[in-house]
Amino acid sequence: MAIKSNPAFLTSYRLYVALFFVFLAAPLLAAGVFAFNDSLFPSLPWRGFTLDWFFNDTEPKLGMFHDRRLLRGLYYSFVIATGVSLLSVFVGTCNAFLFVRCEFPAKDFLYIMMVLPLVIPGVILGISILLLASSVANGVEETLSLDLDFLRPGIVLVVLGQFSFITTITSLVIVARLKKFDQSMEEAAYNLGASRVRVLRTITLPFLFPAMAAAGIVAFLVSFENFNTTLFLVGSEAPLTITMYDRMVKVGSTPVLNAVSFFLMIGSALLALISILVQRDAPKT
Amino acid sequence: MSSTTENDLECIQVKKHFGSVRAVDDVSFEIPKGSFFSILGPSGCGKTTLMRMIAGFETPSSGDIRIKGNSVIGTPPNRRNVKMVFQHLALFPMMNVYENIAYGLRCAGASKDVIRTKVHDVLERISLPDVANREISQLSGGQKQRIAIARCMVLDPDVLLLDEPLGALDLKLREAMKIELKLLQHQFDTTFVYITHDQSEALVMSDNVAIMSEGKFVQIGTPQQLYHDPSAAFVAGFVGDTNRWAGKVTRLEGETVEVETGAGLAMRASIRGAGRPAPGDAVSVFVRPEFITATRSADAGTGQADNRIDGKIDSILFNGANSRVLVRDSAGELIEADVVLTGGPEDLKPNDAVTLAWSAAQTMSFAS
Amino acid sequence: MKQTDIKRLSLYLLFAPFALWIALLIILPHLGMLYISLREKVGPRVYEFGFENYINFFNEPIYWNTLLRTGSMSLLVTVLALLLGFPIAYYIAKIAGNRTRGALFLMCLIPLWVSDLIRAFGWILLLRETGVISSSLQWAGLIDTPIEFLYNDAAVIMGLVYTVILFMIVPLVSTLDGMDNSMIEAGYNLGGNGPTVLRRIIIPYAMPGIVAGCIVVFMLTAGSYLTPILLGGKNSSWFTEQIYDQFITRYNWEAGAAFGFLLLGFTSFVVWAGLRLTGQTLNSTVAKS
């Protein structure tokens, strides 16, 4: 303990910390618990425990696993998040090697450019990409009368939009790990007779793998929960957050949204836990 | 091809420039088969660059490096039969001991059976037969050291390079590893090239030592030669402990000079190094503490020593068999002398008046 | 030399994805947005170059009032997040025991991965007229009729603080964690009391973390969309709503682009001013956390 203070101060300090964590947990609890309330509205009073909002297959209590639109949203979210995390981990790994290993002009400036997308509001990223893609698509259609469908709002644009700032996150995570790499390990492998490709495959990438996996999971989660950027780029294949928002605005809150929330919270918590475990078990140099 | 195939490693006028910095400047040497060769120098003297050139991680600006008589300039590191033990060992943490040792054999495309036999054989030879399935993090410092050597030796290299591998160990273990390394070298009968800034490592283990300073080899010789017959003031000052004075020659007498130090002490010294000084020339004078005898002035009598100085004990540096006294002479400088402290009443004590005596032959004078 | 050829080739290969990403998805879209914001529709498919979209913004008080309101509320949220979050970060980094520290930090991280939407949804369930708090108070007999806690500025600010405070705590914990305890002890040892040690030693040391947290929090708040709408209702007047409105409802992309640029310019200016005032750089703060 760094500061020795009087016990009264310490007790009230502890109380504040405890209250803070109650504040943190309260809305999550509210969102989760009402998934199990046997009522048509997510509010008190408590009418008994039920799993209907997950598994029931008839209206009015249509459970989330039988709700076609929610399931489709889940599916699209999954496809988008997978695409974004694969793409952003790949580019993030390239960026890490670029900024840790290579020397080139204006490196500091370009590093700031790499960090920048993180501080651009997501709404702006969304509309700027929408504008550019639409302008290009319109231009191509007018001059070549060619319809570039992937430049219209839809899954490709959503992936690109999320990728544009999630890559910064993955790059920072992988850069940090690569900086810790003892380069004499590569030289040792080279010295023992390995080719450059073999060194990369057997030494460097296995060392980076925990960071790449963690970055991939983070990218997956951020993509899954993203709303602001996605909102402008979404076409007919709406991911889960957009579907939920639509439902919330049009139908109002229903316990099936609580069920989805509960499902997502458990899923994210598990994934986050895995990413922490992967990084903790990583061998130190 | 060269005729001198009895040499495992030869460097011929090797130079390396980084911009205008001459990291390695015209270094030539040859190492006969099966010997333990050390390169000793302060940090930043270019020894690591030299080693990296031998391993192939750097290309010399000019000159030639030959292994078993064949030039290896242009051969990439993974095609040279020179293996290297890195400063922090660079064992692969994601592999266990067996996989670490097998790594080089796998790269060479050896069959599974050959790999298994060779790995177990080399573990046997470093007397760690049971660690094959351990993780690297489970090994002690000394075991890691031996695994790093085994990982190289299993490939049967022509030359093994060692880049200060004992630096990270604590003192006790370092002492033990010095002996062990020497024994391992005998056992494998392979040429070891050992880089260090720690002179005791170099002196204890090596057949030959090269003293390196500012990119150049100052002297190559056996440890005894370097210690007792240094060719330059740098070597005399760098190898072993020594008292050092700067002074001027006052008189020449055969191989002996009389020198007056800056503080006004007069002493007789033997001429070492290149060239003969003339009266009035500036010189550096060195005497090792073990060649100076310190006796209580009352008991000293009038011995036949070339150099005698009276002084007073300033402090006693007790270190068992290597104990030493610091004596303040009449000029106010401190002189170190080795003494034997038995713990009895006749031991020297602070403030005792003592007479220091040493011979001119063991006093080395270099032109400066 | 062959070695240098390989190096050059790998530099180009590694540079290509970076360049494509930054050029095609960041720089070009923003230039495009700037270009579109600077043209005005004078007829169907006929455009003229000019500042009309920006002039419109300044002529219509409701627009720039919304921007100012968004900016000032974001600043308030940032300050609140810092004041509320700093003690928590300090507790996690310096006071909690080794084992609780990890658990608390984890508890801070898990809500980080829960969508804004779910968090806002949770608050709605707690705060609305038929919500948990209102009905609990009724049940306890403290109030007679249900109270609506939603759809006011306080709810918006609280919801925003809730959404962003973790982005303040996480960089603060990692900076404070790197601080040697003996520095604090030395401060006391040399005669400082609690407030002076906090002001002279802890806060200056934590400055990069504080600035990083504030930048991220401010950007997230000013750019947020869901929380103000869901907790503040349709009249929350958040600037991102105006942008959405121009784009999706009115289909006026030129004005929407101009609004987007104004938001970007405004937030960048605030971040730049913050960095200047605290003497930090983007590299020393955000890039590190």
A17 Cβ under 8 Å from any chain C Cβ: yes
B365: domain CATH number? 2.40.50.140
Q: Average the pLDDT over C227-245 and give the result.
A: 83
* Confidence band for A96, pLDDT divided at 50, 70 and 90: very high
Give the model's pLDDT for residue B368. 78
Fold of A64-280: MetI-like fold (1.10.3720)
Half-sphere exposure of C96 (CA within 13 A, CB side): 21
Tokens standing for residue C38:
């600077």
Q: How many CB pairs under 8 A join A and C?
A: 240
Binary contact (B86, A188; C-beta < 8 A): yes
Give Cα C25 to chain centroid, integer Å: 21
Q: Say if B1 falls within a structural domain.
A: no
Contacts (Cβ under 8 Å, ≥6 apart) of A90: C17
- Chain C: partners with 3+ C-beta pairs within 8 Å: A
* Confidence band for B3, pLDDT divided at 50, 70 and 90: very low
Same domain, B186 and B271: no
CA-based nearest distance A217→chain B, Å: 22
**The overall pTM is greater than 0.95:** no
* Confidence band for B288, pLDDT divided at 50, 70 and 90: very high
- Say if residue A4's pLDDT is above 60: no
Of A185, A187, A192, Cβ closest to residue B57:
A187
Same domain, B177 and B228: yes
Q: How many CB pairs under 8 A join A and B?
A: 65
Same domain, B310 and B199: no
C94 Cβ under 8 Å from any chain A Cβ: yes
Of A182, A206, A283, Cβ closest to residue B90:
A182
Give the domain extent around B76: 7-233
Q: Which residues of A touch C13 (CB under 8 A)?
A: 94
Q: Say if B123 falls within a structural domain.
A: yes
Q: What is the pLDDT of residues A246-271, one digit of tens each?
A: 888 887 778 888 888 888 888 888 88
Q: Say if B229 falls within a structural domain.
A: yes
Q: Which candidate, C235, C240, C236, C237, places its Cα nearest to that of C225?
A: C240
What dihedral do alpha carbons A231, A234, A239, A243 form, nearest 10°? 60
CA-based nearest distance B285→chain A, Å: 42
Contacts (Cβ under 8 Å, ≥6 apart) of C12: none
Residues 133-152 of C with CB under 8 A from A: 135-136, 139
Fold of C53-285: MetI-like fold (1.10.3720)
Residues A137, A135: Cα–Cα separation, whole Å: 5
Task: Outline where DSSP puts E strands in B176-331.
Answer: 191-196, 208-213, 216-221, 243-253, 256-261, 266-271, 282-287, 293-296, 307-317, 324-329
CA-based nearest distance C207→chain A, Å: 19
| Count of beta carbons in the 10 Å neighbourhood of residue B121 | 12
For chain A, the structural domain boundaries read 64-280
Residues C70, C80: Cα–Cα separation, whole Å: 15
Q: Which residues of C touch A20 (CB under 8 A)?
A: 84, 88
Give the model's pLDDT for residue C54. 84
Residues A240, A72: Cα–Cα separation, whole Å: 8
* Confidence band for C216, pLDDT divided at 50, 70 and 90: confident
Domain tally, chain B: 2
Binary contact (C18, A91; C-beta < 8 A): yes
Q: Say if B2 falls within a structural domain.
A: no
Same domain, B252 and B220: no
Q: Average the pLDDT over C27-33 and give the result.
A: 91
Q: Average the pLDDT over A165-182 and give the result.
A: 91
Q: Is B237 exposed, middle or buried (0-12, 13-18, 19+ CB in 10 A)?
A: middle
- Say if residue B207's pLDDT is above 80: yes
Same domain, B108 and B214: yes
A184 Cβ under 8 Å from any chain B Cβ: yes
Respond yes or no on whether ipTM tops 0.85.
no
Same domain, B170 and B206: yes
Binary contact (C110, A124; C-beta < 8 A): no
Q: Which residues of B touch A207 (CB under 8 A)?
A: 93-94
Contact B201/B41 with Cβ under 8 angstroms?
no
Binary contact (C230, A17; C-beta < 8 A): no
CA-based nearest distance A106→chain C, Å: 13
Binary contact (C21, A167; C-beta < 8 A): yes
B40: domain CATH number? 3.40.50.300
Binary contact (B78, A207; C-beta < 8 A): no
- Say if residue C289's pLDDT is above 70: no
Give the nearest chain A residue to B94 (CA atoms). A283
For chain C, the structural domain boundaries read 1-37, 53-285
Residues 156-215 of A with CB under 8 A from C: 160-161, 163-164, 167, 172, 196
A285 Cβ under 8 Å from any chain C Cβ: no
Same domain, B160 and B278: no
Q: Say if B168 falls within a structural domain.
A: yes
Q: Of B209, B233, B257, which residue sits at a domain end?
A: B233
Residues A77, A71: Cα–Cα separation, whole Å: 10
Same domain, B15 and B134: yes
Of A221, A228, A232, Cβ closest to residue C113:
A221
Give the model's pLDDT for residue A123. 86
Residues C96, C92: Cα–Cα separation, whole Å: 5
Q: What is the pLDDT of residues B210-243, one digit of tens each?
A: 999 988 999 999 999 999 999 999 999 888 889 9
Mutate to test the interface with C, among A94, A104, A124 (most CBs of C within 10 A): A124
Tokens standing for residue B285:
């004078």
Q: Say if B194 falls within a structural domain.
A: yes
CA-based nearest distance A206→chain C, Å: 19
Give the model's pLDDT for residue A2. 42
Give the model's pLDDT for residue C1. 47
- Say if residue C114's pLDDT is above 60: yes
Of A190, A284, A285, Cβ closest to residue B78:
A190
Residues B207, B203: Cα–Cα separation, whole Å: 8
Residues B48, B40: Cα–Cα separation, whole Å: 10
Q: What is the pLDDT of residues B60-86, one digit of tens each?
A: 999 999 998 889 888 888 888 899 999
Q: Say if B287 falls within a structural domain.
A: yes
Binary contact (A272, C113; C-beta < 8 A): yes
